[in-house]
Each structure stands twice: as structure tokens, then as C-alpha cells.
Copies of this chain bind each other. A is one copy, B any other.
């Protein structure tokens, strides 16, 4: 992924942001937030995107599952503190959406970047299914392809 310009990302309406509060229990013996918590924060951002932008809920005809997750750890996170996760669409496939994320700690710290491949699953078959036209339209509106570095 190219270098991240957090100011540009904050100004881009295609991103969806959610804020989490770090917890004492997130820390590990290295006195920083354990790396597995980064996965939890990425999930917060993904779930929030699907809920608020795509309107996904338990009554829909399907749901997104994460098939692949990539996290690049850039800086430590400390307690107490907050993390803002910005999520956008990098790629729209036939039955999947590629997401990208930044995790921003206090003081504008770029803590991590992340990529995820999210596959749409039919609730009826529990198998991958093509994106509906509505989902494809929303994903395309949020699409922010990578810029050249």
C-alpha cells in the first residue's frame, strides 16, 4: 500500500471513521497494546462500514465474511488512548469487496494500515454469492483506488 497521508484521508468523504477506546486489558507485557487488538479494531471498522454505509443487518439476504486480512504495524499504541479507524473500498469484485484501513492513534499517529478481502455470503446457502446491484453501487461510490506512490 502506498504511504498514507492521514490529513487527506480525513478529508475524503469516501472513508468511514469509527472511534474506539483502548482498554487496560488490551495491554500486554511489552506495555503496549497487544497486536491481536489491532485485529479487533480493524473488525470494528469493517462492521461499522457494512452497518452504516451498506445497511447490512441480520434481516438481510446475506453477510460479509473476511477471507483475508493483512495488517502492517507502524507504531505502538498506548493506554489510555483512543483509536480512529478509517475504512474505504479499494476494489469491487463479483462476490467480494477489497477494503483498506488506517488505524490512527492519539496525536495523529499512524499505528497501522490494513487490507481485507470481504466475501459476500448468501444467508440461505452459506456460500459466496454475487454482490447485489445495490451493494455494488454503494461499493463503487465508496471506491478509492490506490494512487501511485
* Alpha-carbon distance between A29 and B75 when the two chains are bound, in angstroms: 18
How many Å lie between the Cα of A91 and that of B27 in the bound state? 29
Partner of A72, one of B41, B44, B68: B68
Tallying the copies of this chain within the complex gives: 4
- A72: chain B residues at CB < 8 Å are 67-68
What B residues does A146 contact at CB under 8 A? none
Please state if A68 and B70 are interface contacts (CB–CB under 8 Å): yes
Interface digits, A95-135 against B, CB 8 Å rule (1 contact, 0 not)? 00000000000000000000000000000000000000000
Q: How large is the interface on A (under 10, 10 to 19, 20 to 34, 35 or more residues)?
A: 35 or more
Which B residues touch A80, using CB under 8 A? 48, 51
Chain A 28-49, CB-CB to B under 8 Å as 1, else 0, gives 1111001111111101100110
Residue A71 CB within 8 A of the other chain: yes
Q: How far is the CA of A24 from the CA of B73 in the complex (A)?
A: 18
Contact of A44 with B23 at beta-carbon distance under 8 Å, contacts A29-B29, A35-B39 already known: yes
Q: How far is the CA of A93 from the CA of B40 in the complex (A)?
A: 29
The answer, yes or no, to whether A56 is at the interface (CB within 8 Å) is: no
A23 to B83, CA, bound (A): 12
Q: Is A4 part of the binding interface, using a Cβ–Cβ cutoff of 8 Å?
A: no
In the complex, the answer to whether A35 meets B73 with C-beta atoms within 8 Å is no
Chain A, range 1-57, C-beta contacts under 8 Å to B: 19-21, 23-25, 27-31, 34-41, 43-44, 47-48, 51
